[in-house]
Structure 1
């Protein structure tokens, strides 16, 4: 298994104008505020031609008694840093966590993982920033898992919650996705096709699913003394990697994420991060085409204070979650759509 699988290199990396972006939204509360970017920061980001990123989220409880998903939208992660490394102008972070056995693990990860990441992020001038960022992500997941398990085991009775995690960290225009479990991230890249320049959506996977039925995952579980029955660890747990799930850690369930890296290009339109509630009823390609079709709909109503494009992205995110429920998904559904503009 290639832990650091990279996606295709970009064909374009130039140009772009940086605009003000909203302050991170509160986790699962929908509180929205705005902040001002200083002229010095603005100028620095313009010079680097950074993509403008904006996140939209839709969450549906479905037929479950409890909403066990959590999410984080931080288009600018700098608020968690005293200073950024000199070679970095912008950090963004978006994540979705799909809890099971309760909502405590997913909420803990949503509240703490990005703060741990900020503490472990490379400091000062770094010769090999890419390698250090990957190590930072691995260490962050390990620390978050340990911190939650310590808190969970101190309770009486001990918490048995666990959660998947799909986290997208954007360092300037370089995307790193770290994921555990069966939540996923996919990128929409638009290409011109034919002489009439017809736009074709290409779907690129930014994550890897961790199911006990996968050969490598099953072998690790069995070597640790666990078993896979009916496609589940010990016949119960649907994923082979997670945060939390202390009772399964001795059975080969691990918290080591897969990492993938991708350079944003001028052909990239958006990223979808979503829990398996979406992908039970949508293929990745169908989800990308669905969002892209809404973005082409010029009749979408726009809320006060939104641009027409923002209104279409908001509508696409909400409609995608609604359609997942309409198609019969009874699970919690959380969808994040991150727009990309140069």
Structure 2
């Protein structure tokens, strides 16, 4: 079965790209960077012009990310996150047909914060190294392979570092990573952190548009039949809804002591093409979704965007002020509702 679960495709797209941040740390130089040479003749100039026209016609949404993180009642903040509205700065070479890359991710650590922080610091660099470098008609297939290889490599790198410590680290982490290639969203996730999309759809007989919540991720816990069977076939057991009665997720980065009994680092992948009807995407750890359903979280944010009165920060537009307030208030409300866990929310606005 194809690991991609395709979500509804749009009928039209339009818009421009937007840049927020650059890569927080430079990519290590692992070889000479190849430079594109100038065209030698008129045919190459015409071909480049065609590629540029293709980019403009394709339509690239404007994305802006906001984040709120709360320690809750935990002694330590074990969540980590990263927002890269412009991931092109991490790549030495990018296919000329791709005009924009963006990356947003949330990692929910357990047993410590080392696995989540490692993933937040390294996963996107590995992704950049493995991202397709040349033009291809099979970009979707290569992006899928790139994400699978990146998660495997990140897990292996962390486990190698963890096992070299005295005593060995036993940390683990969920991962929900969203890679946006032009107007296509790819979500790769492990564990119980989630990603959801708010799409506005016209009612059948006119009137106001209604909000539709689309799941962009799939939870992995050992109570799910397929997950439990894999663990049991590998010699593990599931007790009280946990692996060996301890681990609450069935896929993760790290957790070296559970890898031999069926806990894997292979993510589920979903893709969705963004449309002018899309408003925002929420990425959140289970601390948020323990007290909010996906639909409740989307409606909570939408209400603030449409009706909330907010104070803008210096330099923010009114719309940016609303998104910032919605993100912060959503995290605060999760704590107020009694979530004792860490809470991390990434809110990504979408506009064309």
TM-score range, shorter chain: over 0.9
Tell me which of 224, 232, 237 is aligned to 1:214. Answer: 224
Q: 1:22 aligns to what?
A: 20
In 2, Cα distance between equivalents of 1:299 and 1:313 = 11
Q: Distance in 1 between matches of 2:265 and 2:275?
A: 31
Note the 1:263-274 alignment, pairs <5 A.
Answer: 263-274=273-284
Of 43, 59, 62 in structure 1, the residue corresponding to residue 69 of structure 2 is 59
Question: Structure 1, residues 14-66: CA drift from partner, whole Å, max 9, x if none?
Answer: x22444x2214759xxxxxxxxxxxx9x9986554210000000000000000
Check conservation: 2:252, 2:265, Cα contact below 8 A.
Answer: yes
In structure 2, distance between residues paired with 1:104 and 1:298: 37
TM (normalized to structure 2)?
Answer: 0.90
Closer, same or farther in 2 for the Cα pair 1:262/1:46, shift >3 Å? Answer: same
CA distance in 1, matches of 2:17, 2:161: 41
Q: Distance in 2 between matches of 1:264 and 1:329?
A: 32
The answer for the alignment partner of 1:9 in structure 2 is 9
Q: Which moved more, 1:166-175 or 1:289-298?
A: 289-298
Q: In the alignment, which residue of structure 2 is the partner of 1:277?
A: 287
State how far apart, in whole Å, the 2-side matches of 1:43 and 1:63 are: 53
How many residue pairs align between the two structures? Answer: 328
Aligned with 1:285: secondary structure? helix
Mapped to 1, the partners of 2:308 and 2:293 lie a distance apart of 25
Q: How far did 1:308 drift?
A: 0.3
Q: Pick from 338, 347, 352: which aligns with 1:328? A: 338
Q: Alpha carbon RMSD of aligned pairs, Å?
A: 1.8
Distance (whole Å) between structure 2 residues aligned to residue 265 and residue 133 of structure 1: 20
Unaligned runs of 5+ in 2: 26-48
Give secondary structure in 1 for the equivalent of 2:316.
coil
Partner of 2:116: 106
Structure 1 segments unaligned to the other structure (5+ residues): 28-39
- Residue of structure 1 equivalent to 2:36: none
Correspondent of 1:185 among 191, 195, 198: 195
Pick aligned residue for 2:137 from 127, 136, 148: 127
For residues 164-191 of structure 1, give each alpha carbon's deviation from its aligned partner in whole angstroms, at most 9, with x where no partner exists: 0000000000000000000000000001
With structure 1 as the length reference, what TM-score do the two structures score? 0.92
Match of 1:292 in 2: 302
Give the greater-gyration-radius structure (CA): 2
Structure 1 segments, 4+ long, off by >2 Å, are 24-27, 42-48, 194-197
